[in-house]
A = this chain, B = another copy of it.
C-alpha cells in the first residue's frame, strides 16, 4: 500500500498504523521477528507461502518505515540479518493483540470449518 497523506479526519491514527502493518505479509514478518533476529532464509522457511520477491519487497518496505533493521555481512555465501528496530519493538503489543484476537476467533477465520456459520439474510431492500 502506498504512502498516504493523513492530513484529514479522525481515525487517522488507526489508518496510519494499519498502513504500516497491512498487506498480506508485513504483520506476520513482524511477528516472526519478535522472537529475535532472523536471516532472510529463515524468514522464508517460517512463511512457506511467500515468494522470495515478496519477502524482499515487504522487508524493504518495513525497513523504509524504520520498523526493522537490515544488517549485511560481507561473506560468501551472503548473510543478511533482520531484526526489529526500537519502533518495531514498540509494535509488539499491537501484534500480540492481533494474534490473541485471531486465536480467540479462530473458528470464524476459516482456520477450520465453522458449523455455526449461517447464511446471510438476503441483502435486498
Contacts and interface: CB of A to CB of B under 8 A. Distances in A.
Looking at chain A, what size class is its interface with the partner chain?
A: 35 or more
Contacts of A15: 24, 27-28, 102
B8 A28 contact: no
B94 A13 contact: no
Contacts of A123: 70
12 contacts: A5-B110, A6-B109, A8-B48, A11-B99, A13-B109, A14-B98, A16-B102, A16-B106, A18-B21, A63-B120, A64-B120, A90-B101
Interface of A: 1, 3-24, 27-28, 31-32, 46-49, 63-66, 70, 72, 74, 78, 87, 90-91, 93-95, 97-106, 108-112, 114-116, 120, 123, 125
